[in-house]
């Protein structure tokens, strides 16, 4: 079974500094060229970083999110099924490049398996049988001269296909809010969690406190009683402290 993997390939240099510059530019009359040089000179100093964080988060709380759009991040996501990538590409403020099954041949090892099926002996046997038969028929069609782009109609959505993704920080925060939620499907939740881990390494100020919407909003917008945030709120109301 393929393992979902994510790698951050490229990103705007000094993303925290870039977003800080954008916020400061709108609020001060400092000379813009010198201001950037000053930020670069001090951006790694703890006291200065605290100042950066305070201004960025203040501006974001006021709803001025456009400053986040100056920082871009490019990932490769591998091991996700077509089910997952169909969900991913619904996020429109992004750029995507995906391995094409018009031009590449599908093998019998590149299929994702849900845990609910993998853990059921009878279900996994049926699943593997169906996948194997589909791939066998796919290759028979290829042998008959059917083009790959038409033969692939036989292939289940479980087939994996690596996808390159570029999003700006604003879209990523929106993406994480939706796709880290427990209402999202397990595959895209895993991919989103790995993507968040990657960007936090290079932009810790921008992505500080970012998570599912319930965490960022302080309540569950889905109205789910089993949501982590609703459980926390109920426990606080009863004086029980936070959930572990």
Q: Which two tokens stand for residue 1?
A: 């079974």
Neighbouring C-alpha atoms within 13 Å toward the C-beta of 93 = 13
Q: Catalytic residue among 82, 179, 189, 213, which?
A: 179
Tell me which DSSP letter residue 157 carries: T
At 74, is the secondary structure helix, strand, or coil?
strand
> For tokens 């490769």, what's the residue?
76
> For tokens 């993303």, what's the residue?
15
> For tokens 């789910």, what's the residue?
224
Beta bridge partners of 97: 164
CA 24 to chain centre: 28
Q: Does residue 71 contact residue 206 with C-beta atoms inside 8 Å? A: yes
**Is 82 known to be catalytic?**
no
Nearest Cα neighbor of 227 from 206, 211, 210 is: 211
DSSP alpha helices (H): ranges in the chain? 15-27, 32-42, 46-61, 82-88, 115-118, 121-143, 148-151, 169-179, 186-202, 213-217, 228-237
CA 184 to chain centre: 12
Give the catalytic positions in this structure. 179
């Amino acid at each position: 079974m393929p393992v979902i993997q994510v790698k951050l390939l490229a990103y705007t240099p000094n993303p925290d500094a870039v977003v800080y510059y954008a916020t400061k530019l709108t609020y001060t009359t400092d000379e813009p060229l010198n201001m950037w040089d000053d930020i670069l000179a001090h951006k790694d100093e703890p006291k200065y970083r605290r100042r950066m964080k305070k201004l960025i988060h203040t501006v974001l709380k006021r709803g001025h999110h456009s400053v986040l759009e100056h920082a871009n991040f490019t990932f490769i996501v591998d091991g996700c099924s077509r089910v997952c990538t169909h969900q991913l590409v619904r996020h429109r403020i992004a750029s995507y490049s995906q391995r094409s099954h018009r031009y590449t041949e599908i093998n019998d090892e590149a299929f994702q398996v849900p845990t609910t099926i993998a853990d059921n002996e009878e279900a996994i046997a049926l699943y593997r049988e169906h996948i194997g038969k589909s791939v066998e028929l796919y290759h028979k069609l290829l042998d008959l001269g059917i083009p790959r782009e038409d033969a692939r109609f036989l292939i289940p959505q479980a087939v994996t296909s690596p996808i390159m993704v570029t999003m700006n920080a604003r879209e990523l925060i929106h993406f994480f809010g939706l796709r880290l939620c427990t209402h999202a499907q397990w595959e895209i939740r895993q991919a989103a969690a790995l993507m968040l881990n990657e960007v936090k390494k290079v932009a810790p100020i921008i992505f500080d406190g970012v998570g599912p919407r319930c965490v960022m909003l302080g309540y569950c917008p889905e109205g789910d009683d089993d949501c982590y945030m609703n459980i926390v709120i109920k426990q606080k109301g009863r004086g029980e402290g936070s959930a572990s």
